[in-house]
A and B are shown apart, each in its own frame.
Chain A
Amino acid sequence: MAMSDYKEIIRQYQNKSGGIIEAYNAIQKSYGYIPEDAVAAAASAFKVPKAEAYGVATFYSYLKIGPRGRNVIRICESAPCHIAGAEEVVKTLEKELGIKMGETTADGKFSLEFTECVGQCQATPVITVNRKPYEGVSAGNVAAILAEYK
């Protein structure tokens, strides 16, 4: 993954009104997460107190300050996925990767997170890998999905 400097990314957005969230989204797209120092840099570029820049970055559940796995797997646990067997998918993912929900594999390849509805409810349960949706996931096809990222 090509990683552009967060300072350069912030510069691209700093003249845009309300651009701080756009900048955070772009930094995260490049790094996979938001480096701690990028929050301070954003605060000064967007002329808001550090507390506010931090407050914005921590408000949104898709933004994450600090390192995590290169591939972020999110499992939807909203009601339609819940009754379609999301729990089985969670168990299978935890077993395949040897980590619990909220953790990152030792090699830094995968993180497991819960999410709420991702709007792909035509075939439940649904997971996303780096925001790419996979529908109709079951214990039987988890390994094949993971193989795409190994």
Chain B
Amino acid sequence: MIAYHLIYIFFGLGVLAGGVNVVAQKNPVNSAISLLFTFMCVAALYILHGSPFLAMIQIIVYAGAILILVVFTIMLLALREPGRGLGKFWTMPQKLAALIVGAALAVELAIVAVQGLGDLAAPAGASLAEIASPATLGKALFSKYLLPFEVASVLLLVAIVGAVVLTRRPHGTAAAIDAPHADETIAPPAGDEQGGQA
């Protein structure tokens, strides 16, 4: 049991250290990799809580789809000068706004954590492995929570259509001929998110 707690604390500290490092790094790519580290540590925490399914989804969706898109964007924008950080572009009002939003989020999290402490006990008559198994989650998702699930997929579909519309240029312009695979480069993350969710 001691070993469990030590491992738990290790990954918990990893989440915190990664999160702090995301903000502290000058280079945006380093920040993104810190964020990757944080996601992995969160996945490890899910596993320690007995839910490998959530852990895997966490890695596939956040690390495999969303963060990859972020890294792509950073690399495409900073193409000319690798190593130039975004840190110096932050003005004082921006820093202040970030501080306020961050503090609000922290308070919110604290409230949720305190309120949630009462609900920690698992329902009687079922083992943790059963509750967290993909089969149980799947059944719940397609019966009790079918409507939110479908609404979320429609939302993602709207996002995909939006991305396609935004990247589409009018036919016949020079740009459309010039960049035949612009659509395809933008499209993957949107589709991948959908694949990860489904």
Q: A and B: partners?
A: no
